[in-house]
């Protein structure tokens, strides 16, 4: 088994937290994993992205140019990452900040999840990245949802412990959306 993912958005959207959580979940399942974060000099509002590689065999490099999957949390990320996803790959897009009309690829599966809307319905827009990650986990089965949930307490700092139950619910709601909220062409409604 081998899969890789790039997660991209603005700083402050939880992009790096989503990548870290996926990495911890993979380690919990005794898989090999690399986590490669990158962000601009501006903490909030600047670019933030990370690459996660998960495999049952040793991983040669954390660098991925053309990912099998991508989670994009905003329009600039959609415009830069969608062209790089491998043909037949998967794109999870936060349709609240990355309108589907900007998507051009027909050779990849796309799930447009209203991550911000779902997160706000749960109780905080701060967990939108967890909604998108839940959709990814359900669509790919790279790790189990239970593994991700069980690792939340390892990546959430004391300062943000009050959001722990919201993060868990966001993962579940994202997975539910991925399971139920997609149309015939694999595109979220």
For the residues 171-185, what does the mean pLDDT come to? 79
SS3 59: coil
The label of the residue with tokens 């690459």 reads 51
Is 171's pLDDT higher than 70?
Answer: yes
Residue 141: Cβ within 10 Å count: 11
**Neighbour order of strands in the sheet with 32-39:** 32-39, 47-55, 2-10, 69-72, 90-94, 109-113
> Considering the domain boundaries, does residue 89 fall inside one?
yes
Q: Please give the Cα distance from 102 to 79 (Å, whole number).
A: 7
Asked if residue 172 lies in contact with residue 138, where contact means CB atoms within 8 angstroms, the answer is no
DSSP character for 157?
-
> Considering the domain boundaries, does residue 186 fall inside one?
no
Count of structural domains within the chain: 1
44-53, 123-132, 162-171: range with lowest mean pLDDT: 44-53
* Domain residue limits at 132: 2-180
Structure tokens at 151: 């690792």
| pLDDT value at residue 170 | 96
Q: Please give the Cα distance from 75 to 58 (Å, whole number).
A: 34
For the residues 63-83, what does the mean pLDDT come to? 95
> Considering the domain boundaries, does residue 151 fall inside one?
yes
- The CATH number for 130's domain is 3.40.920.10
> Considering the domain boundaries, does residue 188 fall inside one?
no
> Considering the domain boundaries, does residue 85 fall inside one?
yes
186 — pLDDT class (breaks 50, 70, 90) = very low
61-70, 78-87, 132-141, 179-188: range with lowest mean pLDDT: 179-188
28-42, 89-103, 126-140, 163-177: range with lowest mean pLDDT: 28-42
> Considering the domain boundaries, does residue 189 fall inside one?
no
pLDDT digits (tens, 9 = 90+) for 17-63: 999 999 999 999 999 999 999 876 655 667 889 999 999 999 988 88
Give which of 44, 46, 62 is closest to 54, Cα–Cα: 62
């Amino acid at each position: 088994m081998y899969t890789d993912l790039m997660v991209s958005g603005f700083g402050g959207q939880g992009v790096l937290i989503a990548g870290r959580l996926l990495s911890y979940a993979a380690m919990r399942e005794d898989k090999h994993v690399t986590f490669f974060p990158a962000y601009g000099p501006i903490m909030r509002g600047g670019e933030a992205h990370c690459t996660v590689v998960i495999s049952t065999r040793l991983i040669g490099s954390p660098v991925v140019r053309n990912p099998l999957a991508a989670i994009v949390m905003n329009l600039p990320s959609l415009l830069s990452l969608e062209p790089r996803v491998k043909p037949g790959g998967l794109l999870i897009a936060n349709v609240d900040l990355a309108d589907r009309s900007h998507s051009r690829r027909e050779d990849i599966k796309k799930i447009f999840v209203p991550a911000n809307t779902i997160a706000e319905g749960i109780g905080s827009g701060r967990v939108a990245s967890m909604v998108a990650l839940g959709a990814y986990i359900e669509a790919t089965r790279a790790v189990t949802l239970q593994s991700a949930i069980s690792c939340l307490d390892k990546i959430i700092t004391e300062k943000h412990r009050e959001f722990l139950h919201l993060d868990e619910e966001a993962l579940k709601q994202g997975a539910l959306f991925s399971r139920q909220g997609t149309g015939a062409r694999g595109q979220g409604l």
